[in-house]
Amino acid sequence: MIATLAIAISTAGVLAACGGDDEGGAPELRWFGATQPGGAFEEAAKSCTEDAKGRYRIKFDPLPSQADAQREQLVRRLGAEDSSIDIIAMDVIWTAEFANAGWIREWKGEREKTVTADAFESVVRTATFKDKLYGAPFNSNTQLLWYRKDRVKQAPETWDEMFEEAERIGAKEGKIQVQANRYEGLTVWATAMIASAGGSVLSGEEKVSLEEEPTKLALSTMGRLANSPFADPGIATSTEDTARLGFESGGSSFMINYPFVFGSAKENAPDVFKQMDAAKYPAVEKGRESAPPLGGFNLGVGAYSKHPKEAFAAAECLARSENQLLLTEKSGLPPTRSTLFDEPQVKKAYPGFSEVIKESIADGTPRPAAVAYQDLSLAIQRAIHPVGKIDPDNPDAVLKELREKVEQAVKVEGLL
């Protein structure tokens, strides 16, 4: 749950004591982020510490593995004006909330130009609030359509084409794996589908959009899958990991998921891996480009840091191209700069589909930049879960519920 202001204030004294005043010598900058496989974050911190030549030291502080727990810890500490938070590896969905609360500092001038150089415009948008940059693009991520090339001659370009292919293959092996549990993954699916249909959840930070025709088309397509024999029987509780496992079992021919599934199949299901291929996120409407979802981390500088000058310099170093490539090589996370997709580390990490990832990130649409994003995401989940309740021929009832719940969510100013 979100910490209340009273809790944040009551813990302020304890947290402020964690600030670690440096008495002489180089200041120690604490960088908070989610631990990634391969130790890439720690290695980047070490490299930038060495490059600083005594101006500062970077200490990586791992956050909990679950995204909600990561945010909760940061919200508690930032709400208590904890000066020990110098740099944050921020989930792309935190920008508006953290910036609006005054918890992170704006990137300006030459530093802004440096960290956004060659970055995908879509990624820069995830780090922007009210036309101001609050994060240095650090890594990106996106979902692809994974399919069995032994069962499908050509990747379907639309959801309708995928349904047709699944019907041809048959329910036994033609399953389509998605993420539809009541969690952030469902919000990712819904917002990507609405954007792909030409609509949006919000217009700006507070005005509800949800244009009728695009939203109905998106909901109808989701309901069509959930009520078909090609949905996984456990679709109502499906996640990235259950989708991965379902695809690796051999009973599925299609899967919407992140690039991590490629390496997982190579290790856990070599026979399936040999038949895996990737394509761009399917279009909802033929003739209209899809809008793949975007993930990743941006680097924010804490508003209460005692060493903001050093923190900005350190974050700029961490966001350098060589560290983005390190993340790709060690942790499988795509870079945020389009020029880096020509590098051998990227082509090796995504053999045969690096260009698909590049195109997907370029065409990607960020999730809504809501100040109270947590409330908005929960509203979307509650309105459309389980997806099987959506009547594909008449999604009006769910659209009405979605609009009502989103309206309620955007009225919330956000909580500390």
DSSP per position, 134-203: -SEEEEEEE-EEEEETTT-SS--SBHHHHHHHHHHH-TTT-EEE---SSSHHHHHHHHHHHHHTT--SEE
User: By C-alpha distance, which of 337, 293, 381 is closest to 93?
Assistant: 293
Q: Tell me, yes or no, whether 128 and 72 share the same domain.
A: yes
0.95 exceeded by pTM: no
Q: Tell me, yes or no, whether 203 and 236 share the same domain.
A: yes
pLDDT tens over the chain, length 416 residues? 333 333 343 444 434 334 444 445 899 999 999 988 889 999 999 999 999 999 999 999 999 988 889 999 999 999 999 999 999 999 999 999 999 999 999 999 999 999 999 999 999 999 999 999 999 999 999 999 999 999 999 999 999 999 999 999 999 999 999 999 999 999 999 999 999 999 999 998 789 999 999 999 999 999 999 999 999 999 999 999 999 999 999 999 999 999 999 999 999 999 999 999 999 999 999 999 999 999 999 999 999 999 999 999 999 999 999 999 999 999 999 999 999 999 999 999 999 999 999 999 999 999 999 999 999 999 999 999 999 999 999 999 999 999 999 999 998 744 43
Residue 64 lies in a domain: yes
Q: Tell me, yes or no, whether 298 and 285 share the same domain.
A: no
Residue 317 lies in a domain: yes
240 and 258 in contact (C-beta within 8 Å)? yes
DSSP secondary structure letters along 266-331? HHH-HHHHTTEEEE---BSSTTS----BEEEEEEEEBTT-S-HHHHHHHHHHHTSHHHHHHHHHHH
Q: Tell me, yes or no, whether 104 and 157 share the same domain.
A: no
Which structural domain range is residue 167 located in? Answer: 144-291+372-410
Q: Tell me, yes or no, whether 282 and 309 share the same domain.
A: no
Residue 415 lies in a domain: no
Separation between Cα atoms, residue 57 and residue 55, nearest integer Å:
7
Q: Tell me, yes or no, whether 200 and 258 share the same domain.
A: yes
Separation between Cα atoms, residue 397 and residue 391, nearest integer Å:
9
Residue 329 lies in a domain: yes
236 and 386 in contact (C-beta within 8 Å)? yes
Q: Tell me, yes or no, whether 156 and 217 share the same domain.
A: yes
Contacts (Cβ under 8 Å, ≥6 apart) of 245 = none
Total number of domains constituting the chain: 2
For position 204, what pLDDT does the model report? 80
CB atoms < 10 A from the CB of 391, how many? 15
Contacts (Cβ under 8 Å, ≥6 apart) of 204 = none
- Which CATH number does the domain housing residue 89 bear? 3.40.190.10
User: By C-alpha distance, which of 115, 105, 106 is closest to 138?
Assistant: 115
Q: Tell me, yes or no, whether 150 and 285 share the same domain.
A: yes
Separation between Cα atoms, residue 354 and residue 143, nearest integer Å:
12
Cis peptide before 386 (omega within 30 of 0): yes
Interhelix angle 396-410/212-226, rounded to 10 degrees, is 120
User: By C-alpha distance, which of 14, 128, 31 is closest to 81?
Assistant: 14
Residue 81 lies in a domain: yes
Strand pairing report for 294-301 and 136-142: antiparallel
Residue 22 lies in a domain: yes
Q: Tell me, yes or no, whether 254 and 392 share the same domain.
A: yes
- Which one-letter amino acid corresponds to residue 248? E
Q: Tell me, yes or no, whether 35 and 161 share the same domain.
A: no
Block residue for tokens 């909600």: 68
Q: Tell me, yes or no, whether 202 and 190 share the same domain.
A: yes
User: By C-alpha distance, which of 362, 336, 372 is closest to 133?
Assistant: 336
Residue 416 lies in a domain: no
Q: Tell me, yes or no, whether 203 and 235 share the same domain.
A: yes
Residue 232 lies in a domain: yes
Distances in Å between the alpha carbon of 259 and those of 238, 297, 353?
17, 16, 9
